[in-house]
């Protein structure tokens, strides 16, 4: 399943699965302008760090194409690229994808698109490599037996160009016959776990259960979980990792209960310009995501919220970080 792709016919457009409608409806959006892409990113029609990297690269290709078709000035081009790059501040992959292909603008739209599609293909290959490395690591650490895995948010093909990061490891383990059951946190307030991860697990035929976020610590301390796998949106060079809000609490509970806690993400998610997670900018989102559900108020009128989209899990709570390159075993003073 291709979460995001480029339609070269006609005037050119980006196509993507509208994740806002899942699991009830699978709809393909056709994105014809960079403004539409920014809206899709900010409203979470497309989300997930690797998928945002691809979206950033393809977005620059779309900007290059439209600027040629419509005779944009350099100021207009630069403004469009800056707006796209800043659409979501915490996920480093979006800016990374934009930056990877922007130098190709001088060579024309076809060169930008060629580079963007290469990033998309490389993401798929990286996902497979992460899956194999992560599966091998877990089987070595936990023993070659059927495992019960807890995961938070969505890290599957919907969060990438295909296959997945943390969920890619789960897919690999499942193909090898080493998954007993997956526990998917629902992931409040937008329910990416129950809407997206559960849908992907169902499609893949992998046995799963959905947990309220508040039940994760209890499941870990009750001995129901063998390992935790999550993704990341930005990783500092000391190993501190930003991921969907709620990840930190799971990590602390996993550490206290002696359960391996793995972060699975591509090398492009590592931001070595940041010494620690204290430097990661955290995106805050609208009160309505907490005070309303499916358009209906579930809190008193005018209620305010504390609604960070991400939290930072400190490296001391992370057993290892898995990328397509290697497994980084974290310890005191280790830099990646």
By the 8 A CB rule, do 155 and 115 touch? no
306 with 287: CB under 8 angstroms?
A: no
- Output helix, strand, coil percentages for the chain, rounded to the nearest 5: 45, 20, 35
> Is 233 a known active-site residue?
yes
Q: Please, which residues have CB within 8 angstroms of residue 101's CB and are 6 or more apart in sequence?
A: 57, 60, 61, 112, 115, 116, 119
Instruction: Find out whether 213 and 278 touch, Cβ atoms under 8 Å.
Output: no
134 is in an annotated binding site: no
49 is in an annotated binding site: yes
Instruction: Report residue 221 as tokens.
Output: 């301390």
Q: What is the DSSP string of 292-336?
A: EETTEE-S-TT-----BSEEEE-GGG-SEEE-SS-EEE--TT---
Taking the CA atoms of residue 202, residue 168, residue 114 and residue 36 in that order, the dihedral angle to the nearest 10 degrees is: 50
**Any binding-site annotation on 192?**
yes
CB 58 within 8 A of CB 6: yes
Residue 48 annotated as part of some ligand binding site: yes
Contact between 149 and 267 (Cβ < 8 Å): no
Per the residue annotation, which of 233, 240, 271, 311 is the catalytic one?
233
In angstroms, the CA 235 to CA 134 distance is 17
Retrieve residue 189's tokens: 């307030």
User: What DSSP element (H or E) covers 216?
Assistant: helix 216-221
C-alpha 179/C-alpha 197 separation (Å) is 15
Task: Say whether 47 counts as a known binding-site residue.
Answer: yes
Contact 157, 229 (CB under 8 A): no
Supply the angle between the helices 49-70 and 34-42 in degrees, to the nearest 10: 160
127 labeled binding residue? no
Instruction: Return binding residues for substrate.
Output: 47-49, 88, 192, 243-244
Q: What is the set of active-site residues?
A: 233
Instruction: Return binding residues.
Output: 47-49, 88, 192, 243-244
């Amino acid at each position: 399943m291709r979460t995001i792709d480029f339609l070269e016919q006609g005037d050119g457009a980006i196509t993507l699965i509208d994740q806002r409608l899942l699991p009830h409806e699978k709809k393909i959006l056709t994105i014809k302008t960079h403004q539409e892409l920014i809206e899709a990113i900010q409203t979470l029609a497309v989300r997930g760090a690797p998928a945002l990297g691809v979206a950033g690269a393809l977005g620059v290709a779309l900007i290059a194409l439209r600027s040629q078709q419509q005779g944009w000035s350099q100021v207009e081009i630069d403004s469009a690229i800056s707006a796209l790059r800043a659409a979501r501040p915490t996920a480093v992959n979006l800016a990374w994808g934009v930056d990877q292909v922007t130098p190709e603008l001088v060579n024309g739209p076809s060169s930008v698109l060629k580079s963007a599609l290469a990033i998309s293909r490389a993401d798929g290959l990286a996902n497979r490599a992460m899956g194999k490395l992560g599966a091998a690591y877990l089987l070595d650490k936990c023993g070659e037996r059927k495992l019960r895995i807890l995961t938070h948010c969505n890290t599957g093909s919907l969060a990438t160009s295909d296959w997945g990061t943390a969920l890619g490891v789960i897919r690999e383990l499942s193909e090898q016959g080493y998954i007993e059951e997956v526990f998917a946190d629902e992931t409040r307030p937008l329910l990416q776990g129950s809407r997206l991860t559960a849908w992907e697990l169902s499609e893949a035929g992998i046995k799963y259960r959905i947990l309220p976020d508040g039940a994760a610590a209890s499941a870990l301390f009750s001995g129901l979980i063998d390992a935790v796998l999550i993704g990341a949106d930005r990783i500092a060079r000391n190993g501190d990792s930003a991921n969907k809000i709620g990840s930190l609490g799971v990590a602390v509970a996993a550490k206290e209960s002696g359960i391996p806690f793995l972060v699975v993400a591509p090398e492009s998610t590592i931001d070595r310009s940041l010494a620690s997670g204290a430097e990661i900018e955290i995106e805050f989102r609208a009160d309505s995501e907490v005070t309303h559900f499916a358009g209906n108020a579930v809190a008193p009128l005018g209620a305010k919220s504390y609604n960070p989209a991400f939290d930072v899990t400190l490296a001391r709570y992370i057993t290892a970080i898995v990328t397509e390159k290697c497994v980084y075993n974290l310890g005191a003073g280790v830099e990646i």
